[in-house]
Structure 1
Amino acid sequence: MLSWEDRRLMVKVAMLYYFEGWTQAEIAARNNVSRPVISKLLNTAKKEGIVEIYIKDETFHTVELEQKIIKKFGLKEVIVVSTAGFAPEMAKRQLGKTGASYIANHTKEVKSLGISWGTTLLSLVAEYPYEHKEDVHIVPIVGGMGSEYVHLHSNQLAFNLAQKMNTTCSYLYAPAMVESNDLKERLVSSKDIAHVLEEGKNVDMAVVSIGNPFKGATMEKIGYLGPDDLASLRKAGAVGDISSRFYDAVGKELDHPLNQRVIGLNLDDIKKIPEVVGIVEGSYKLESIEAALQGGYLDVLITDDRTAQELADSHNL
């Protein structure tokens, strides 16, 4: 049991440290003891309940969720965006803004940035600030051509992001998915397409989103997937896709005819990229996100608070 003198010293040390802003070294010098003694006193004060630390800020909950998910999945970074009370479009915009900020602040050493496609990445590019990043070259990592929904395609996103960064980009002159394996082989063996695919494999960072093929899928909306395709994917055990590549519940890329007709990086290629940033919102994608994290495809996850809470609480692993 602590003596009155011990408790008094602890309170005095805690007052100086937490309220007066003294350093541990300054307190040690004043009390003629070593700095480790002060550190030990502060730790004991917390254990004994003499000092209780509260963080009073609305962002505490999101930061706590971030740390839980980082530990659970071994990620480099997680950013949880509070979207409570936001309409779906505003939530996506807020996520895009956060993703744009992360990319803008973490591309100092990046020479090439890969980009996939979809509505979430469209929000990121729309929210990206105009700046000078002439050293960064943008590369689409999946095909993106067609006459409909052009604004969502990787080539258009790469071009728009390059404009925002005042830099250069490559173009992958092919659709994300073609009608036959034969056509795919002919396209990927052409010099221009082969060159951009090789560039994509060697980017320093890539930004992707995650899709749930059965709920709100952009690939179905724009005509890449029909009812027969969806039935076939469900039967094969698909739970999600990254860059139009479908994977199962443990994150393994499916050996499926649709995956074989995609023009773009496969999931192993994506896994080898030094830093892959995944931006995804919507708890209906929970299983898709979990499987992608199990597959080890993401290093950084940016998501909304509701999805993050379910991810932290899930016992599916």
Structure 2
Amino acid sequence: MMHDERLLTRVAYQYYIQNQTQSQIAKNLNIGRSTISRLLTQARQRHIVSISINTNDADLLDLEAQLKRRYHLRNVDLINSDHADLDLALAQEAAQYLKQIIKPNNLVGISWGSSLALMVGQLDHPKAANATFVPLVGGPSAANAKYHVNTIVYDLARKFMGNSVFINATAVQESSYLRDGIMNAKYFQELARDWAHLDIALVGVGGPLTRRTTSRWRDLLTPDDRDMLKDQHAIGDCCCTFYDVNGKLLAPNLQKRTIAIPLETLKQTPIRIAVARSTEKVPSIKALLQIGVVNTLITDADTASQLLN
């Protein structure tokens, strides 16, 4: 039922201008509380009331909404692209988002990513969550030991006053035989069970093999691995698993030597967050969104705009 415009205006004025509660207005006008709510909705629908957000964040919120619709995402969190240090700003945003969503006793998985490593240092005064943090991928080569995923896991657990589980193997093994032996070990079976019951997963997104990269694990790839991935047109990786522009998983022989959570297992996690940005990574991020590996994206406005184009 459509109500008289004067009544709609009166209700809207008391609510938006006089800052009265819906209960107060209901009492003033001797109208039911649920009716007041419907009157306010009609006032907006008939443009008696218009609502605008007068900050620069309004454009970001619009971009976020477009990305959520386009890729059917649970959430999108964007930063402006005018920061002097975009990587630091992205890490700060990821830290704030994790603090916002983490719940007591959550099981949280972490993969590689420079933004994820940087994120740990931006976690100022997080609430004690007694969460358990686990690695989603194997470690780096000995040359990059200081960037080990175990370090990220340990530091996160310390920040949140929680627990950590470690992985004692490099991401890529010399043979599938060695990889299978590790994954069949008792300690690893416990980690694999954790992978199947994650509440939150945070992952980075690796760009094309041809880009100049600070990846701390790709030096484990052999020349044959690289040639095969180039022949198959790999555009990026997530959790040490490579894929092409259509999201097709590549290099099955390499996967058989890789120690990492399978992407199909990752997709069972309720909250799956990718933290990544840059023009070069747009195709990699896009493919990952299209096949539903992640359902939450933290990135910058320029990357978001390119994902929409």
The bucket for the TM-score relative to the shorter chain is: 0.7 to 0.9
How many Å separate the matches in 2 of 1:60 and 1:140? Answer: 36
Is the 1:200–1:265 contact (alpha carbons within 8 Å) kept by the matching residues of 2?
yes
- Given the superposition, is the C-alpha separation of residues 10 and 270 from structure 1 closer, same or farther in structure 2, using an over 3 Å criterion? closer
**CA displacement at 1:177 relative to structure 2:** 1.0
Q: 2:174 corresponds to which letter in structure 1?
A: E
Is the 1:184–1:262 contact (alpha carbons within 8 Å) kept by the matching residues of 2?
yes
User: Which stretch has the larger CA shift, 156-165 or 128-137?
Assistant: 128-137
Q: Compute the RMSD of aligned alpha carbons.
A: 2.8
Encode CA deviations 1:15-53: one digit per residue, 9 max, x unaligned.
Answer: 333211234454455456666776666555545554432
- Counterpart of 2:236? 240
- Counterpart of 2:82? 85
Q: Share of identical aligned residues, percent?
A: 31
User: Which stretch has the larger CA shift, 250-259 or 45-54?
Assistant: 45-54
Note the residue ranges of structure 2 that are not aligned, 5 or more in a row.
Answer: none
Task: Kindly indicate whether residue 208 of structure 2 is the aligned counterpart of residue 213 of structure 1.
Answer: yes
How many Å separate the matches in 2 of 1:188 and 1:234? Answer: 28
**CA displacement at 1:165 relative to structure 2:** 2.1
- Given the superposition, is the C-alpha separation of residues 119 and 27 from structure 1 closer, same or farther in structure 2, using an over 3 Å criterion? same
Question: TM-score scaled to structure 1, two decimals?
Answer: 0.84
- Counterpart of 1:102? 97
- Given the superposition, is the C-alpha separation of residues 63 and 29 from structure 1 closer, same or farther in structure 2, using an over 3 Å criterion? same
- Counterpart of 1:204? 199
Is the 1:132–1:165 contact (alpha carbons within 8 Å) kept by the matching residues of 2?
yes
- Counterpart of 1:53? 51
How many Å separate the matches in 2 of 1:112 and 1:44? Answer: 44
Task: Kindly indicate whether residue 254 of structure 2 is the aligned counterpart of residue 258 of structure 1.
Answer: yes
Q: 1:162 corresponds to which letter in structure 2?
A: A
- Counterpart of 2:113? 118
How many Å separate the matches in 1 of 2:20 and 2:127? Answer: 42
Within-5 A mapping of 1:1-317 = 10-24=8-22, 26-27=24-25, 29-31=27-29, 42=40, 45-46=43-44, 49-82=47-80, 84-87=81-84, 90-131=85-126, 133=128, 135-214=130-209, 215-219=211-215, 223-225=219-221, 229-311=225-307, 313-314=308-309
Encode CA deviations 1:192-238: one digit per residue, 9 max, x unaligned.
Answer: 33332333333222111111133243448851346654442232132
How many Å separate the matches in 2 of 1:170 and 1:242? Answer: 20
**CA displacement at 1:58 relative to structure 2:** 1.5
How many Å separate the matches in 1 of 2:106 and 2:97? Answer: 16
User: Which stretch has the larger CA shift, 122-131 or 241-250?
Assistant: 122-131
- Given the superposition, is the C-alpha separation of residues 21 and 218 from structure 1 closer, same or farther in structure 2, using an over 3 Å criterion? same
User: Which stretch has the larger CA shift, 252-261 or 291-300?
Assistant: 252-261
Encode CA deviations 1:100-133: one digit per residue, 9 max, x unaligned.
Answer: 1222222214432111112111111121235563
Is the 1:271–1:297 contact (alpha carbons within 8 Å) kept by the matching residues of 2?
yes
How many Å separate the matches in 1 of 2:45 and 2:125? Answer: 50
How many Å separate the matches in 1 of 2:35 and 2:266? Answer: 50
- Given the superposition, is the C-alpha separation of residues 80 and 192 from structure 1 closer, same or farther in structure 2, using an over 3 Å criterion? same
How many Å separate the matches in 1 of 2:34 and 2:189? Answer: 60
Secondary structure of 1:114's partner?
A: strand
Q: 1:295 corresponds to which letter in structure 2?
A: I
- Given the superposition, is the C-alpha separation of residues 284 and 7 from structure 1 closer, same or farther in structure 2, using an over 3 Å criterion? same
Is the 2:267–2:294 contact (alpha carbons within 8 Å) kept by the matching residues of 1?
yes
Is the 1:62–1:81 contact (alpha carbons within 8 Å) kept by the matching residues of 2?
yes
How many Å separate the matches in 2 of 1:196 and 1:266? Answer: 13
Question: TM-score scaled to structure 2, two decimals?
Answer: 0.86
User: Which stretch has the larger CA shift, 300-309 or 217-226?
Assistant: 217-226
Encode CA deviations 1:44-85: one digit per residue, 9 max, x unaligned.
Answer: 554555443221011111112112212222222111112x33
Secondary structure of 1:149's partner?
A: helix
